[in-house]
Structure 1
Amino acid sequence: MSRSAISRWLLSFVPGPITVRWPERFRACLGALLGIAFTGGATHLLLGPSVGIPLLVAPMGASAVLLFGVPASPLAQPWAIVGGNLIAAVIGVACASWFASPVIAGAIAVAVAICAMFALRCVHPPSGAVALTAVLGGPAIHAMGYRFVLAPVAIQTAALVVAAIVFHAVTGHRYPHAGRQSADKGAAPAATSLGFTHADLEAVLRRRSELLDIDPADLESLLRETQLQAYARSFSELTCADIMSRLPIAVSTTTKAKVARDVLERLGVTALAVTDETSRVVGIVTRKDLVIKGPARKPGALADYWRRLFSGHSALSTDTVGALMTTDVFTADLTQRIVELVPVFTNHGHHLIPVLDASRRLVGMITQLDLISGLYRQTHTPRKLVE
């Protein structure tokens, strides 16, 4: 084995970063402090200073790590700790009485306890220590026999679970941590935006050869949120240059109104950008500007005005776009993110946004259709969850 291979193997033991924030870490430490103190106090209150019955058994410390440190884990749920500890205690006491060798008794007790916990769906790692405590706890524990299952194991387990439920409720955490279930269980399984159903996820998990310490519903929720985060990131990275029409149709300020109207009708658009002789955007002209504002600016006979209005023609060959355009126009830069344009279209009624380069010259145009098409393409483009 080469030195580099050995180095990579040794580096594989380096733990990954813990993403839990410090307030949550302190909350877990406080919960374990209060939980263990309550458990010991409850044992003393119920049993008194009984000789030979420990006020705290060591596995409760390991259980506290799960219940307060990782309360979302399936291994930390109430049935896991209660069922696991009681089953392991019974098996440990039985093995201690059946086998003279403590090593053989302990090995068999732990192995059988794991098998039973898998069968009863109450896998709880500290319960293995409960089985060993029943075997290796010494003469005082052995003298208790099956009473060890009730006191101290059952009493301390119940006290620790009660403490965890109360503590998490007071601090605003969800415990017991029930997986998120579908609101309509009778409905046919629908594919998520990731292209899989909950049944697909469960089928994959069943094919795995190891137990994952996460609820399937939580895993599905995590994947959904990851995909939403990926979409949010990709949308935030999408710029005007990615979706704009790169051959913008614009008219100059000296263009006749009739010509501009003909361009609008030929292209089937609702507005045109207006540029000066240096290709800088100075305004925007819409169908409404050309039909209604024209006759109003050059009053004539009342009958002629209504004829022009309802026929959709201004018939003002002398009017120019510069006289009819709106000069208060919203423009965007090439590198501007499109998420910033959504409120402009939705809240301010814009139908067209000119896109300018660094020299403030017109290089493109974004319509509502361009925006919707860009978002659609971004949503339906397959992308990896982990890059």
Structure 2
Amino acid sequence: MKSLLVKNIGQARRPVRSRNFRTMGSSIYQPEFSYAQIFSSWMGSFLGIATLAYLSVHTQYPLIAAPFGATAVLAFAVPDSPLAQPRNLIGGNLIGAIVCITLVYAFGTAPWVMALAVATAIKLMQLTKTLHPPGGAVALVGVMSEASWDFLLTPVLTGSIVILLCTIAFNNLVPGRLYPKH
């Protein structure tokens, strides 16, 4: 017997057909990118992450962390997004770091602390209008790595500033892109 997805009990005989599973390529829910935009996103993210990695190796300060990969996606692939703007990029990552450090000092690194860190970071980012999804990842990574106050300066603050400067420089050199938007 086939099971059907239904919109509600009153319409049990009418199946819901999801376009998400039938559509190949871009759909109405996904932005479409030209080849020039794809190349620009690729080049910008490569240069931004390479700069962080190079500085990390040559200064021997940990300036790179996994959440910066997600920051690069936002900053270089969708620079017009409110989530990719400087206030969100710096503020969201700092909030994630402050939350995780505070919770690690207060409660340790238990699994529930990981969940509390992400949830609290999201709440504070929403309240301060600095929502930046990688900030939630910063909170999680910080708890997982038993972050101390050093984590706030390196990699979070310094790494965020470096990736922001790369984003500003690169996106303003690409024709048709203007960053920041607001």
Query: TM bucket by the smaller chain?
Result: 0.7 to 0.9
- Larger relative strand fraction: 1
Aligned-partner residue type, residue 176 of structure 1? P
- Larger relative helix fraction: 2
Say if 2:34 is the partner of 1:34.
no
> Looking at both structures, which has the greater relative contact order when contacts are Cα pairs under 8 Å and sequence separation is at least 6?
2
Q: CA deviation at 1:128?
A: 0.4
Structure 1 stretches of 4+ with a deviation exceeding 4 A read: none
8 Å Cα contact 2:109-2:143 kept in structure 1: no
Aligned-partner residue type, residue 149 of structure 2? Y
Q: CA deviation at 1:18?
A: 4.0
8 Å Cα contact 2:52-2:159 kept in structure 1: yes
1:71 to 50, 73, 79: 79
8 Å Cα contact 1:42-1:159 kept in structure 2: no
- Quote the Cα distance in structure 2 between the aligned partners of 1:2 and 1:59: 38
1:161 corresponds to: 164
- Identity, in percent, stands at 34
- Quote the Cα distance in structure 2 between the aligned partners of 1:129 and 1:113: 9
2:148 corresponds to: 145
Aligned-partner residue type, residue 102 of structure 2? A
SS in 2 for 1:123: coil
- Quote the Cα distance in structure 1 between the aligned partners of 2:108 and 2:53: 32
2:38 to 25, 43, 51: 25
Q: Deviations over 1:186-213 (max 9, x none)?
A: xxxxxxxxxxxxxxxxxxxxxxxxxxxx
- Quote the Cα distance in structure 2 between the aligned partners of 1:97 and 1:68: 34
Q: CA deviation at 1:109?
A: 0.6
8 Å Cα contact 2:104-2:113 kept in structure 1: yes
8 Å Cα contact 1:35-1:164 kept in structure 2: yes
1:91 corresponds to: 99
Q: CA deviation at 1:93?
A: 1.1
- Quote the Cα distance in structure 1 between the aligned partners of 2:139 and 2:45: 22
8 Å Cα contact 1:43-1:156 kept in structure 2: no
1:375 corresponds to: none
- Quote the Cα distance in structure 1 between the aligned partners of 2:109 and 2:47: 38
Alpha-carbon spacing, 1:18–1:73, altered in 2? closer, same or farther (3 Å): closer
Using structure 1 for the length normalisation, give the TM-score: 0.40
Say if 2:182 is the partner of 1:174.
no
- Quote the Cα distance in structure 2 between the aligned partners of 1:24 and 1:57: 25
Alignment RMSD: 2.0
State how many pairs are aligned.
Answer: 166
Using structure 2 for the length normalisation, give the TM-score: 0.83
Q: Deviations over 1:190-239 (max 9, x none)?
A: xxxxxxxxxxxxxxxxxxxxxxxxxxxxxxxxxxxxxxxxxxxxxxxxxx
Q: Deviations over 1:262-305 (max 9, x none)?
A: xxxxxxxxxxxxxxxxxxxxxxxxxxxxxxxxxxxxxxxxxxxx
Say if 2:57 is the partner of 1:49.
no
Aligned-partner residue type, residue 181 of structure 2? H
Alpha-carbon spacing, 1:12–1:24, altered in 2? closer, same or farther (3 Å): closer
- Quote the Cα distance in structure 2 between the aligned partners of 1:124 and 1:79: 9
